[in-house]
Amino acid sequence: MPIQSSDMPAIEEIKQLKARYFRFLDTKQWAKLRGLFTDDAVFEGTFDPFKGPDDFIAGVSKFNQNTVTVHHGHMPEIRIISPTTARAIWALADFIEITATEGQPPRAQRGFTGFGHYQEKYRKEGYGKMVMKEAMDQMPKLFPNQPIKISAQAYLQKFYEGFGFEKVSEPYLEDDIPHIAMVFGH
């Protein structure tokens, strides 16, 4: 099935996600790396059998405790399966340098180069909620004791109600899209 132009934004999102994965891994930002995975993520073909993302992060952070790493993902083959799922194959090249630790003799092998392919499944989940949660955490700091008013697309009414917003208008058109006014903290 050929790639549709409408698939391109999702394909770019996946590329950005994978770039963050490699950057967070190489810079040892374990909490941010963990945040890239859904709670039910499955890890197959890894050096250890991981029971989920928390176990994966614990294992990878322990293994990389005394390393400097560089991971590169190249030439992605990304296929959008549905509005919320995709599959990808990434060519991988990485270098792992094992740093000297106090009290250890010098090692003949100071690191290794790896290569292969990642085969992954992606599922969109919760990005809107994550962004809204962060916004809701910041609003009282930025605008203390003020109600928050939004112009929400009507089909997202229940989403915003989940954050405590209340509908305060009848539907109206904004850019030919049905919207409603909603308020939090009034």
Q: CA-to-CA distance for 97 and 113, rounded, in angstroms?
A: 9
Residue 123 near residue 38, CB atoms below 8 Å: yes
* pLDDT tens digits, 126-153: 667 777 888 888 888 888 888 899 999 8
Q: What is the tens place of the pLDDT at every residue in 22-61?
A: 999 999 999 999 988 888 888 887 777 888 999 999 999 9
pLDDT for residue 109 is more than 60: no
Task: Summarize pLDDT for 113-126 with one digit per residue, the tens.
Answer: 999 999 999 988 76
Domains of the chain with CATH codes? 5-125 (3.10.450.50), 128-184 (3.40.630.30)
The pLDDT of 100-108, averaged and rounded, is 62
Helix (H) or strand (E) holding 135: helix 127-142
Q: What is the rounded CA–CA span in Å between residue 7 and residue 74?
A: 19
Q: Quote the Cα angle for 138-144-150, to 5°.
A: 65
